[in-house]
């Protein structure tokens, strides 16, 4: 390794469930490249988003702050122009900074320079699914001019990233490569895989337990979705090989993760924006300086922790304003890892959730609108799942009298996390025991 600071590459997928990965037990061998780096680097076995919707999740990653702090609590709210991002922090440390792909934090298309979060090199669209199709990739360059890239969209963006990396000299770089896949194509509400991939996967398909029980759009969409996942992994492998061929792999921190998951219309009338594992749990690995040969890390890691972790790993100071914490001390054994995750939910409803080793607990704000309201001063208990007994989250125990003490404990814990995230202390209305029922079907 050279004496300069390490390069940093973020490989960011969109709407990818954790259980699409072989390292998480998926039997289809769709992700050999992810699985290999998970073994030789650091595999984050318990990785979660703290906001299961595209724009807010991206605001979290760029700033290390919760969406209710930056104001980006739902889609179509641009990141404040004076909000420091990863690009600002790395740029101030002498890094060249580059963004390729989907941004979703601007107010216009093309994104104006002042809304690009401080990135110097730009080849992106604000909402990539609106400027491009699966085989018709159009993004905008530094001057706001449209650029058409050939090939399947995953490959087109990866090729652009490899060209950028190959152009670098001695200056360290921070590259954020943000895909649309395996998110659906909005205009057609489908999951268009590369040619032939959906058909091949249908012949050996394995359906996760929650989708097998609840259905949704799984039969129509899941094979294409997995085809997208397979192509993403191939692109990930090509990017890693490009770094290796340029003698940069040992000098580069790589982070693979996603903004949120996908429940295929089994929990509400779309694909995410819920407290369930399908929406909030994502695949994550680190590789490179500081992360090599760790293997599986069992601590809980939130999306809000990723920005401080990258800065810490690159030897840069972590701003006090960031609300997440670097996982490096826990990897080294210098502090205890977390075993709880706090989630803010918007757009579909105003909700807050807490995920522990065993329990999933959600509260919802009655009378609030998930698009217009960022938070509430009153919430009501909505869901409780025992993840040990019910990993597919089919039995809502929120009104079970036998779990009253558990709910009381979780109420206190979720208020703690809401205050820690900068929210006011809320009133939480306990559920009425007489309305107890067990949900065995979709909660849509």
Backbone angle region of 175, left / alpha / beta, with phi > 0 → left and psi within -120 to 50 → alpha: beta
Average pLDDT over residues 209-234: 98
Give mean pLDDT, residues 94-117: 98
Q: What are the distances in angstroms from CA 392 to CA 44, 319, 381, 396?
A: 21, 38, 20, 11
**Three-class SS state of 136:** strand
pLDDT surpassing 90 at residue 439 = no
Domains delineated in the chain = 7-332 (3.40.720.10), 349-435 (3.30.1120.10)
pLDDT in tens, 289-299: 999 999 999 99
Contacts for 222 with CB less than 8 Å, ≥ 6 apart: 191, 205, 207, 211, 264
Q: Edge-to-edge strand order for the sheet containing 427-429?
A: 340-345, 351-356, 359-364, 378-386, 427-429
Q: What is the pLDDT of residues 354-403, one digit of tens each?
A: 999 999 999 999 999 999 999 999 999 999 999 999 999 999 999 999 99
DSSP-derived secondary structure letter, 31:
-
**What helix, strand, coil percent values describe the chain, rounded to 5?**
30, 20, 45
Mean pLDDT computed over 17-26: 98
C-alpha to C-alpha distance for 182 and 191, rounded to whole angstroms:
7
At 364, give phi and psi (nearest 5°).
-125, 155
User: For the whole model, what pTM was predicted?
Assistant: 0.96
DSSP state of 185: B
Has residue 441 got a pLDDT over 60?
A: no
Average per-residue pLDDT for the chain: 95
Residue range 203-229: mean pLDDT, rounded: 97
């Amino acid at each position: 390794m050279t004496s300069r600071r390490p390069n940093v590459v973020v490989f960011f997928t969109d709407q990818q469930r954790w259980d699409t990965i072989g390292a998480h037990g998926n039997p289809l061998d769709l992700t050999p490249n992810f699985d290999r780096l998970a073994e030789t680097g650091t595999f984050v076995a318990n990785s979660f988003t703290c906001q299961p919707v595209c724009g807010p999740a991206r605001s979290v990653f760029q700033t290390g702050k919760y969406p209710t702090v930056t104001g980006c609590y739902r889609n179509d709210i641009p990141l404040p122009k004076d909000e420091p991002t990863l690009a600002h922090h790395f740029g101030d440390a002498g890094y060249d900074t580059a963004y390729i792909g989907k941004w979703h934090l601007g107010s216009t298309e093309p994104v104006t320079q002042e809304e690009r979060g401080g990135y110097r090199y730009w080849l992106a669209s604000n909402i990539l699914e609106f400027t491009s199709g699966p085989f018709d990739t159009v993004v905008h360059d530094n001057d706001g001019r449209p650029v058409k890239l050939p090939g399947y969209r995953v490959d087109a963006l990866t090729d652009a990233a490899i060209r950028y990396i190959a152009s670098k000299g001695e200056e360290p770089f921070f590259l954020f490569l943000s895909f649309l896949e395996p998110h659906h194509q909005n205009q057609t509400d489908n999951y268009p895989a590369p040619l032939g991939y959906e058909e091949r996967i249908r012949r050996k398909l394995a359906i996760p337990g929650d989708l097998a029980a609840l259905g949704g759009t799984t039969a129509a969409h899941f094979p294409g979705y997995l085809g997208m996942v397979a192509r993403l992994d191939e692109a990930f492998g090509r990017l890693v090989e490009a770094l290796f061929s340029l003698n940069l792999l040992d000098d580069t921190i790589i982070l693979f993760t996603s903004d949120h998951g996908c429940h295929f219309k089994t929990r509400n009338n779309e694909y995410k924006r819920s407290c369930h594992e399908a929406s909030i749990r994502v695949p994550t690995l680190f590789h490179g300086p500081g992360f090599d040969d760790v293997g599986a890390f069992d601590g809980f890691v939130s999306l809000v922790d990723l920005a401080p972790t990258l800065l810490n790993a690159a030897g840069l100071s972590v701003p006090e304003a960031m609300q997440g914490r670097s996982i490096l001390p826990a990897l080294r054994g210098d502090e205890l890892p977390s075993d709880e995750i706090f989630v803010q939910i918007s757009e579909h409803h105003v909700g807050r959730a807490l995920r522990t080793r065993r329990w999933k607990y959600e509260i919802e704000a009655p009378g609030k609108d998930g698009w217009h309201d960022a938070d509430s001063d009153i919430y009501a208990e909505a869901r409780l799942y025992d993840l040990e007994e019910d990993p597919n989250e089919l039995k809502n125990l929120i009104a079970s009298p036998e779990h009253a003490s558990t709910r009381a404990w979780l109420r206190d814990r979720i208020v703690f996390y809401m205050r820690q995230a900068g929210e006011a202390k809320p009133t939480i209305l306990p559920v009425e025991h007489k309305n107890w029922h067990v949900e065995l079907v979709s909660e849509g």
